[in-house]
Amino acid sequence: MQTVTLIPGDGIGPEITNSVLEILKEAGAQIEWDIQTAGAEVAEEEGSPLPDRVIESIKKNKVALKAPVTTPIGKGFRSVNVQLRKSLDLYANLRPCKNIDGIKTRYDNVDLVIVRENTEDLYAGIERQIDEDTAESIKIITRKASIRIAEFAFDYAIKNKRKRVTAVSKANICKLTDGLFLNCVREVAQKCSNIEYNEILVDNLCMQLVQNPSKFDVLVLPNLYGDIVSDLCAGLIGGLGVAQGANIGLNAAVFEPVHGSAPDIKGQNKANPTALILSAIEMLKYINQNDAAQRIEKALYKTLKDGYIVTEDLGGSATTEEFTNAVIGNL
């Protein structure tokens, strides 16, 4: 039995969390959940949206499954997600993006992996209001963070038998910051001669991704570009409802979908739990519960391939609950 921290989040978070809990239980996963709430409601009760108990729990258990948490736009507290990643030094955000059988999309040969730097860039949150009409935000790129994310990307490429790593930047404009990032990736690339290496500017990458995504393999990006390109790539494989992710550091890992708390469909039993289920499968593999992981993977892919019990975002009419039961039925 392994203890895993569970953050049910808010918005659609609790609905998709329930789905995952039921599926993991039915699949025989040996997990004791350490449930830790976070977000706006917690901030009202405990004075912080991310109380120390959440961080302590993940530090102790070393692994967490997290549903999305809402961040107020343009005001209010700092993102729980950004704080969590920073406080636990979860420096690598890994977002595999591959077509799933049964989900019809524009392309049927997408198989790429986004490796997003997770701790700095404009997400350092260093902003100030200079006067009423001017605000500034500081973009921080360091050698330490750039080298270790590049090493993570190449290491991932080697271990997962990938062919190429592409560094993404806007170093033609942000010559110092993105320039430093790029130089660090080049340095690491030189030591990994068995993996091909190339570079692309982020705007050109976006255009090429929507025209011919199959030409990309592993992408390594600074934080902001990684965030934006992740959503673009989710769109290539069927949308945010099916895009999984993981935040990995040296001492802990937090598995979570790419999508947010989807307030527009909150409480309507409409949310697609697939992205959180896929994140949970990766979490199970990470803690060596491969049997349960494989059973769920098969059942989930069968449900999606059959295609008649899927949620609205995938063109179906099933509720979150009906989809969950279909996966359980296929276990």
CB of 155 to ligand NAI, least distance (A): 24
Burial 62-75 (b: 16+ CB within 10 A, else e): bbbbbbbbbbeeee
Distances (CA, A) of 223 to 85, 98, 129, 220, 323: 12, 21, 23, 10, 33
Site for ligand NAI in 40-69 (CB under 6 A): 68-69
**In the complex with ligand NAI, which residue's Cβ is closer, 169 or 274?**
274
Q: Which two tokens stand for residue 327?
A: 């996966």
Direct distance between the N- and C-terminal alpha carbons of the chain, in angstroms, rounded to an integer: 21
CB of 273 to ligand NAI, least distance (A): 7
User: Binding to ligand NAI by residue 316, rule CB under 6 A?
Assistant: no
Q: Is 3 exposed, middle or buried (0-12, 13-18, 19+ CB in 10 A)?
A: middle
User: Binding to ligand NAI by residue 17, rule CB under 6 A?
Assistant: no
Distance CA 218, CA 113 (A): 5
Among 177, 223, 272, 279, the residue binding ligand NAI under the rule CB under 6 A is 272
> Which residues, at least 6 apart from 220, have a Cβ–Cβ distance to it below 8 Å?
115, 117, 149, 150, 153, 165, 166, 167, 168, 185
Among 19, 37, 70, 166, the residue binding ligand NAI under the rule CB under 6 A is 70
Distance CA 123, CA 138 (A): 9
User: Binding to ligand NAI by residue 275, rule CB under 6 A?
Assistant: yes
CB of 241 to ligand NAI, least distance (A): 4
CB of 70 to ligand NAI, least distance (A): 4
> Which residues, at least 6 apart from 143, have a Cβ–Cβ distance to it below 8 Å?
180, 184
Site for ligand NAI in 102-161 (CB under 6 A): none
Distance CA 275, CA 289 (A): 19
Distances (CA, A) of 117 to 46, 78, 93: 30, 18, 6
CB of 7 to ligand NAI, least distance (A): 9
CB nearest ligand NAI: which residue? Answer: 260
Do the beta carbons of residue 31 and residue 283 sit within 8 Å?
no
Among 31, 65, 167, 265, the residue binding ligand NAI under the rule CB under 6 A is 265
CB of 65 to ligand NAI, least distance (A): 12
User: Binding to ligand NAI by residue 260, rule CB under 6 A?
Assistant: yes
CB of 169 to ligand NAI, least distance (A): 23
Candidate ranges 40-48, 186-194, 267-275, 287-295; the one touching ligand NAI (CB under 6 A) = 267-275
User: Binding to ligand NAI by residue 264, rule CB under 6 A?
Assistant: yes
Binding site for ligand NAI (CB under 6 A): 12, 68-71, 81, 240-241, 256, 259-265, 271-272, 275, 313
